[in-house]
Amino acid sequence: MAAPCARGSMKQGILLAGAGSGHQGAASSLDHITRRVRERWPGLPCVAARTSGGHAGRGAAALALPTAEAGLDQLKSLGVEHAVIQSLHIIPGREFHRLLCLAQEHRRTGTFARLDVGVPLLGSEADIEAVARAVLRVAPERAGDGQAVLLMGHGTEHPGHDFYPALAARLAQLDPGVFMGTMDAAPGLADILARLEDFGARKVFLLPFLFGAGAHANRDMAGESGAASSWRERLLARGLDCEPVLKGAGEYDAFADIWLDHLAEALGGPGAQFDANSGA
């Protein structure tokens, strides 16, 4: 890591790095959080970039983002000396750890005088509490008994997945009618269905716990007729009324505030405290 320098003497710049999406529905989250960042730090260059390669060039032109590497090159060309990469991921999974490796490489080569990384939405035990409280603030109002809220996260085999069940446990303590599941790991929808039945749910509000309401939210969560494997169709098949809410986490100020707090810490503090070689 580069030796700490007085930030006031260096030009700072921000790279907002997320998974990226070719689906137009994901644009609102990026637009919202970018606007929030520019309002809070109006004098700093701010570049958006993607950490995954599968969606480049697909969908709306606004979503064809540069890679994180290219985004750092843009900041360098603008004369930035202290670059901060702010992760727009939900958990510290593989893509976040790739960002840490990228940062480590740039520190080694001295591209910037200083380079820090802001942690994802869920990056600490304190974040679990903050995010759980934010979930309750953004959850739809439930009119009476038998109504539940179900969040659909992505899930992963990476150890960072542990944040999902930890959040689910805290939500259950705060509100037994709010559930958390993931597509690619436990707890999956099959696990949640049994819990919904035990709860006595008759109607389920279905929300994506993803940065943006892109393809996963529209297809895997809320897909209609013909999408028999979508969470919506599976809930309906069990006799549950289902109301999807197609709004990504990045569109809510309650979540954006947490990401911006992490960015503020990275701009003025030591940055992310993760081992860049772990799980990368």
Per the residue annotation, which of 23, 82, 89, 154 is the catalytic one?
154
For the chain, count helices (H), then strands (E): 9, 8
**3 burial type by CB count under 10 A (0-12 exposed, 13-18 middle, 19+ buried):** exposed
DSSP letters spanning 257-270: HHHHHHHHHHHHS-
Let me know if 89 is a catalytic residue: no
Q: Check residue 207 and give left, alpha or beta (phi > 0: left; psi -120 to 50: alpha).
A: beta
Q: Which residues contact 19 (CB under 8 A, 6 or more apart)?
A: 50, 51, 52, 55, 88, 89, 95, 211
Q: What angle do CA 278, 181, 232 make, to 5 degrees?
A: 135
Q: Give SS3 for 109.
A: helix
Q: Which residues pair with 182 in a beta bridge?
A: 153
Give the catalytic positions in this structure: 154
